[in-house]
Amino acid sequence: MNDLSLDLQSLINIQENPFVLIDKDYRVVSANNAYCQVYGLNPDEIVGRLCHEISHHSSVPCHENGEVCPHQKVFATGEACQVLHIHYDNNNRAERVRLKGYPIRGRDGCLYLGEAIVPLSSSEELDCDEMRMIGHSPAFLECADKLSRVAESDAPILLYGESGVGKELAAEFVHKLSTRGGRPYVSVNCAAIAESMFESEFFGHERGAFTGCVGRKQGLFELAGGGTLFLDEIGEIPLSMQPKLLRVLETGEFRRVGGTVTLTADVRIISATNRNLLERVDQGLFREDLYYRVAGIDVMLPSLRERRMDIPALADALLARISGAGKNIPKLAADAISRLMNYDYPGNVRELRNVLQKAVALSSKGIIHAKHIQFDSMNEVKAQTAMRTGVSVGSSPVLPPMVSAPSAISIEEMEIRHICELLEHHGGHRRTVADILGISERTLYRKLNRYGLHPAKD
């Protein structure tokens, strides 16, 4: 602290939120009272310690655990940054926080990281009316951080992601954080609109505009006026209708079907797809000019298999919703959690909910065991295909431009690793492991022989 100027130390002390100064070796140089209170430590117990030991209860820096590290960014670029993290207080309670990292020079000329720790406000708690966006995995936090940052802009957003990852939740999250958050949010599944009804649905119609039309109707652009229009499955819009959508996005004007009055479209467009739109452009199925109108900022939503550590928390939240208000919420036994964690979910969160609904129906006494967790056999094949290729079965790759699919191990190797881990964890007991895997002990025995695995106990 002797190397800091009085003005800089005063600046640290007057910060309302926890604020800490960290050197290039991750050691805390100074901290304000709010920081000390959050972690239940005196200043003398904080200064000189590694920052990740205090806030993450970890022996290694957060970037080695897969998180985006503000320390690494500031010291590499010399520029400020913001990220979302999970921190742990003195009672080991997890809390989502926004970290604001600043490059600060001491009077000795050395570079320090000034880190402001801001608890997420109620508007940022990743809540939506339908269900909370839940997670604390690095993949989830990085995505949530990007969504919160792009919410500040009014630029169009294109959400990429496999079916069931929660694209509509993400769109609603962005809307609520944006300057349009108090205005209408209108969602439409483009794949569900018949080509003959496209103009009427999007732009509305006047009375008598077509046979059977008995009254005036507002279209989606009017209903979303001043707010956000979410176009889910935008890649499914018929090619013949795409110029009509492009025109309103370019001019900001439209007319109801059968109308003569020009109306103004004041909306923010958020689109979503589980397809590679540029590939569809190359195939002549999607207009290139429309693509660049809707893909102002692209955000890739992680699949559930990329954020496995979120599955227990997601499962608890889904079970609460499935059970309904005022009813006892079923509990997941350890073997059920293990089974849930070791499946790849080609249907993502939507499939997880379906699996849990069946488990609730099959279970008794309020406890869900591995035997109650039943996966769709076709989806198990899809999961294996997705792991090998990085591609959702039945659709084009969802990866946006310049994003490559991850490498994958073989299904056999994955199964060997999984069985070995279970055998080690359960002391080599075959019957216990078979129950967790949802197979008979005889089937497990055949697998053990095939893979040359020989546990010590029955």
Does residue 144 carry a pLDDT above 60? yes
The class level of CATH for 138-300 reads alpha beta
Residue 66 has a pLDDT of: 67
Kindly state the average pLDDT of the residues 270-295: 94
Kindly state the average pLDDT of the residues 309-316: 87
Burial class (CB in 10 A: 0-12, 13-18, 19+), 322: middle
Q: Measured between alpha carbons, how far is 143 from 150 in angstroms, rounded to an integer?
A: 11
- Of 292-301, 323-332, 441-450, the least confident: 441-450
pLDDT tens digits for 11-59?
777 788 899 999 999 999 999 988 998 888 988 899 999 999 999 888 8
Q: What is the pTM of this model?
A: 0.64
The class level of CATH for 328-408 reads mainly alpha
- Torsion-angle region of 252 (φ positive above 0: left; ψ -120 to 50: alpha; else: beta): left
Q: Which of 4-8, 137-141, 315-319, 355-359 has the highest mean pLDDT?
A: 355-359
Kindly state the average pLDDT of the residues 440-454: 70
For the four alpha carbons of 279, 283, 285 and 287, in that order, the dihedral sign comes to positive
Does residue 124 carry a pLDDT above 70? no
Q: Which of 71-85, 117-131, 353-367 has the highest mean pLDDT?
A: 353-367
Does residue 412 carry a pLDDT above 80? no
For residue 84, what are the β-bridge partners?
98
Q: Where are the domains of the chain?
A: 6-120, 138-300, 328-408
DSSP 329: P
Cβ-based neighbours of 352, under 8 Å, separated by 6 or more: 304, 311, 314, 315, 318, 340, 345
| The token pair that represents 263 in the structure block | 């109306």
Burial class (CB in 10 A: 0-12, 13-18, 19+), 152: exposed
| The token pair that represents 221 in the structure block | 């652009």
Topology of domain 6-120, per CATH? Beta-Lactamase (3.30.450)
Does residue 288 carry a pLDDT above 90? yes
DSSP 359: H
Q: Measured between alpha carbons, how far is 196 from 212 in angstroms, rounded to an integer?
A: 14
Residue 4 has a pLDDT of: 52
Residue 369 has a pLDDT of: 92
